[in-house]
Structure 1
Amino acid sequence: MEKKRVAIQGIKASFHEEAALKFFGNDIETVECNSFKQTCDVLKRKEADFVVMAIENSIAGSLLPNYTLLRDYQFTIIGEVYLHIQLHLLALPGVAFDQIKRVESHPIAIRQCDDFFNEHSHLNIVESTDTAACAKRIRDEQLTDTAAIANKLASEMYGLQVMERRIETNKKNYTRFLILTDNKDIQIEKANKASFSFQVSDEVGSLVRVLDAFAENEINLSKIQSMPVLGKRNQYNFYVDIEWLDHKKYEEALRRVLRYTINFTILGEYLKNDEV
């Protein structure tokens, strides 16, 4: 049986690959991409079977450009995965802390370690595109004056020592990733969560009617995100995640919501997965 090809933003041992391994297991082929848009292009060209895409972080918030990609590419969400983000300071084996002059990582990872950098203000901070890529560069170039902020997987893959463990300021830091596919034949049995996008008319109570349809059918609204419609003043795309226990009530809520919305799209129906 052929391995599932999973496109990720970043390289092996990045948090995206960690999320892919958590969702699919170890028997996958990782397709490394330089950007989220490239992951979508790879999937569209059938060079991958799935995309793992970060959509929100408990500290940094929603990744708004990725909502635009969901709308533009119209892939199907077939699952989600949560990662507990644990950030470690990694360096070459044998290097002492007082040898480190600079620390490299993704800007979001850097911002999540403010307390550490306040304590060690002499360190030169360098932003990069990917946490794991910073770890790989230290290994490849044998940099003895540089450390990376990355995950445990990166330390294992690139042979680096964990110099300082758990340097993130907020220890309850989670990222939610979506699993996307271009295969319309995949159906998720016993789905209990869905993601939608839609617009409503610019009049009083238009969004409330949609929310009431969910509430009156005992549908839990777990997320709502608005994005302006390009070139149209006072018009917004709404992205909504809902959860349900009774599938019949979910179907009834959908029938009502369709009456109140414009350009309604089901982005995916899948199993709720908040295990971390």
Structure 2
Amino acid sequence: MKRIAIQGIAGSFHEDAARKYFEDEVEVVECKTFTTVCEKIDNDEVDFAVMAIENSIAGSLLNNYQLIRDYHLRIIGEIYIHISMNLLVNEGVQSSDIEHIHSHPIALQQCMEYIEQFYPNAQLHEKLDTAASSKLVAKEKLRNAASIANLRSAELYGLSVLDTGIETNKKNYTRFLILSKHGNPTTGTNKASVCFEVGHFYGALARVLNTFAENEINLTKIQSVPKIGKPNEYTFHVDIEWEKGENYDRAIHQVLKSASSLSILGEYTKGNLHNQ
């Protein structure tokens, strides 16, 4: 059985991503922080890890880019999970009883229109993740509170679903990376995540990006991450896709001539979108 490290607890979207990606029975190892997740892989305590890297509404998790580099982890896959939020309560609790709503701060933000319309006077409580908020409501048998989480949390912690699909944006997805201590072989892959630095002169970044275009490499994401302790210096993270492996190989060799540094964080197969 594969051991998978996740940030958060059972019932979280990280666990959902782990189970859907591996498609078989896994043992989820719960971690309080993303740093702990990386330490688990580094110390060979788990086989893989699942780490959120970006959300279509909240944007990128910049610190996670840094962690992947610091721990020299390899990206071996990705999965996109549709984020659907639900209002969960203990059995018998009615809408009129709700005075408190618990959830992750981003989840609360994603459901703010619903909250303001139906529970404008409710006190909002930020928790480490959506599943932890559900576990709290269930464990303490709160009769005047609800949590916002996925349906898996309701199942795990015995909560009733008072309302479904309460998120403001119905096309909200989170991209999760699958991490390992060792990378995939290049053969058979069609996507890569790389990071590089360029010199401080005009056209330096454009030269690298044009190299990808000239080799028919599709650039799907570019993210600048500030270098800690070095003002005005950045590392550029890009995701690229290709149809012909030889084009990718040629582009990487050419980029090496233009970039001051280049690291391949992982080569893998492009992920699919998964609904809950």
TM beyond 0.5: yes
Give the alignment of 1:95-106 within 5 angstroms: 95-106=93-104
Check the 8 A contact 1:78/1:188 in 2, yes or no.
no
Tell me by how many angstroms 1:233 deviates. Answer: 3.1
Aligned to 1:81, the other structure's residue is in SS state: strand
Q: 2:41 aligns with which of 40, 43, 47?
A: 43
RMSD of equivalent CA atoms: 1.1
Q: Which of 198, 210, 232 is 1:200 aligned to?
A: 198
Of 215, 218, 221, the match for 1:220? 218
Structure 2 counterpart of 1:215, one-letter code: A
Letter in 2 for 1:128: K
Q: Which residue of 2 aligns with 1:155?
A: 154
Match of 1:135 in 2: 134
Q: Which residue of 1 aligns with 2:88?
A: 90
Q: TM-score, normalised by structure 1?
A: 0.96
* Kept after mapping to 1: 8 A contact 2:75/2:179: yes
1:9 matched to 2:35: no
Give the paired residue count: 273
After superposition, the Cα gap between the structure-2 partners of 1:264 and 1:188, relative to the gap in structure 1 and judged at 3 Å, is closer
* CA deviation vs aligned residue, 1:28-78 (integer Å, no higher than 9, x gap): 000000011110011111111111000000000001111111111110000
For 2:186 and 2:211, the matched residues in 1 are separated by 24
Of 27, 31, 34, 1:33 maps to 31
Q: For 1:173-212, list aligned pairs within 5 A.
A: 173-184=172-183, 186-187=184-185, 189-212=187-210
Contact 1:188 1:271 in 2 (8 A): no
State the partner residue of 2:55.
57
Match of 2:145 in 1: 146
SS in 1 for 2:273: coil
Q: Which runs of 5+ in 1 are unaligned?
A: none
Partner of residue 120, structure 2 = 121
Separation (CA, whole Å) in 1 of partners of 2:205 and 2:171: 32
Q: Deviation of residue 189 (structure 1)?
A: 4.5
2:143 counterpart letter in structure 1:
T
Which stretch has the larger CA shift, 18-27 or 238-247? 18-27
Contact 2:87–2:149 (Cα < 8 Å) also in 1: yes
Contact 1:135 1:148 survives alignment (8 Å): yes
Q: Which moved more, 1:186-195 or 1:214-223?
A: 186-195
TM-aligned CA deviation for residue 188 of structure 1 = 6.1
Contact 2:217 2:242 in 1 (8 A): yes
Return the offset for 1:153: 0.6
Residue 17 of structure 1 aligns to a residue whose secondary structure is helix
For 2:167 and 2:186, the matched residues in 1 are separated by 36
- Partner residue in 1 for 2:75: 77
Q: Amino acid of the residue matched to residue 97 of structure 2?
A: Q
Deviations 1:224-263 (A, max 9, x none): 0001222223321000100000111111111110101122
Identity of aligned residues (%): 50
Inter-partner Cα distance in structure 1 for 2:139 and 2:229:
47
User: What is the CA–CA distance in structure 2 between the aligned matches of 1:274 and 1:210, rounded to whole Å?
Assistant: 28
Q: Which residue of 2 aligns with 1:232?
A: 230
> Is the 2:223–2:236 Cα contact (8 Å) retained in structure 1?
yes
Give yes or no for contact 1:7–1:51 (8 Å, CA) kept in 2. yes
Between the aligned partners of 1:231 and 1:138, the Cα distance in structure 2 is 42
Distance 2:41 2:253 in 1: 32
Contact 2:82 2:273 in 1 (8 A): no
What 5-or-longer segments of structure 2 have no aligned partner?
none
What is the CA deviation profile of residues 202-232 of structure 1, one whole-angstrom value per residue up to 9, with x for unaligned ones?
1000011100110011100000000122222
Of 52-61 and 129-138, more deviation after overlay is shown by 129-138
The code of the aligned residue for 1:140 comes to K
Give the Cα separation in 1 of the matches to 2:23 and 2:231.
Answer: 45
Structure 1 pair 155–9 and aligned structure 2 pair: CA distance change class (3 A):
same
Is residue 92–residue 160 contact of structure 1 (8 Å, CA) maintained in 2? yes
